[in-house]
């Protein structure tokens, strides 16, 4: 099914590779421009919905290796079947869909954080602050619990209340300024397409080393992304972006199927 490397896959690999090298050389300055930031962040620009798909973490080499390997392995087979134009459209569509779902989930999370901050500002209490910390552990340093212990000795001290409110605002700003990079959303869309087109193709897993049919691999990855997205909020891995790539890929493929049946 792979045959030789196809043109669109080849160009995508080159673009991702060039941008990764540029990120290694330029560093955070390039990330601030091209990574995807939450729309409430001062670093957000609309074009980032596209550019983030061609960037990868310069601190995790395996991030780009996995994505590019999967793009080559599964994308080549799909492009050979669909042709370059349809494959490229699908790739970009699923990447944008992944970013859209990721941003929507962040909107829900960050809106909840903002509401909790407003409620604390109206009626500050140690219990409310601790609840905020427990709900957003991934954004807090563990030393905040030392602060809570000190505050509990003087619960009505306005200095501690002021510091707690500043901490909450600071954590909110840090959270919305976390950038998202990577082709993972589009790659997961490609995995979904491969599983739908070749459901019984047998693939060899690395961990554990065992064969599995493509359809079960895709279902397993979707379940893992959903579970981790729900139970690991604030994770530096954009699990809902992975799920979004699969979801929008599924919808687009079924749209094409229905359209072909209607006009076939």
Please, which pLDDT band fits residue 144 given cuts at 50, 70 and 90?
A: confident
1 compared with 182, residue with greater pLDDT: 182
State the distance between the two ends of the chain, measured CA to CA, in whole angstroms.
Answer: 26
Using alpha carbons, select from 167, 157, 152 the residue that is nearest to residue 117: 167
Per-residue pLDDT tens over the stretch 95-139: 999 999 999 999 999 999 999 999 999 999 999 999 998 888 777
Cα separation, 39 vs 29, whole angstroms: 18
8 Å CB contact between 225 and 188: yes
Across 1-15, 104-118, 206-220, the highest mean pLDDT is recorded for 104-118
> Under DSSP, is residue 223 helix (H, G, I), strand (E, B) or coil?
helix
Count of all residues that appear for the chain in the document: 264
In degrees and rounded to multiples of 5, residue 3 shows phi and psi of 50, -145
Q: Which homologous superfamily is 7-106+178-263 in?
A: Rhomboid-like (1.20.1540.10)
Q: Model-level pTM?
A: 0.89
Q: Would you state the pLDDT for residue 96? A: 97
Please, which pLDDT band fits residue 185 given cuts at 50, 70 and 90?
A: very high
8 Å CB contact between 89 and 53: no
User: Where do the structural domains in the chain lie, given as residue ranges?
Assistant: 7-106+178-263, 107-176
Q: Is the dihedral of CA 166, 169, 174, 177 positive or negative?
A: negative
Percent of the chain at pLDDT > 70 equals: 96
Cα separation, 79 vs 87, whole angstroms: 5
Q: Would you state the pLDDT for residue 246? A: 94
Per-residue pLDDT tens over the stretch 14-67: 999 999 999 888 877 888 899 999 999 999 999 999 999 999 887 778 889 989
Element (H, E) at 147: helix 144-152
């Amino acid at each position: 099914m792979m045959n030789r490397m196809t043109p669109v896959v080849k160009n995508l690999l080159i673009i991702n590779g060039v941008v990764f090298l540029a990120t290694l050389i330029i560093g955070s300055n390039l990330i601030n421009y091209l990574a995807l930031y939450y729309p409430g962040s001062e670093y957000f620009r609309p074009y980032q919905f596209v550019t983030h798909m061609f960037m990868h973490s310069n601190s995790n080499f395996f991030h780009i290796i996995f994505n590019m390997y999967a793009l080559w392995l599964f994308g080549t087979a799909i492009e050979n079947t669909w042709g370059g134009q349809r494959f490229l459209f699908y790739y970009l569509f699923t990447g944008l869909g992944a970013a859209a779902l990721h941003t929507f989930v962040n909107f829900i999370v960050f809106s909840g954080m903002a509401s909790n901050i407003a409620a604390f500002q109206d009626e500050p209490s140690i219990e409310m602050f601790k609840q905020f910390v427990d709900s957003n552990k991934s954004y807090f340093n563990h030393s905040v619990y030392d602060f809570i212990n000190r505050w509990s000795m003087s619960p009505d001290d306005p200095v501690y209340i002021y510091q707690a409110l500043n901490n909450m605002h600071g954590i909110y700003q840090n959270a919305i300024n976390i950038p998202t990079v990577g082709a993972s959303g589009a790659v997961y869309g490609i995995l979904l397409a491969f599983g739908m087109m070749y459901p019984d193709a047998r693939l060899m897993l690395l961990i554990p080393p065992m064969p599995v049919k493509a359809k079960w691999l895709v279902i397993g990855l979707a379940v893992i992304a959903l579970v981790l997205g729900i139970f690991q909020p604030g994770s530096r891995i954009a699990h809902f972006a992975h799920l979004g790539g699969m979801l929008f890929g599924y919808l687009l493929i079924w749209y094409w199927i229905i359209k072909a049946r209607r006009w076939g």
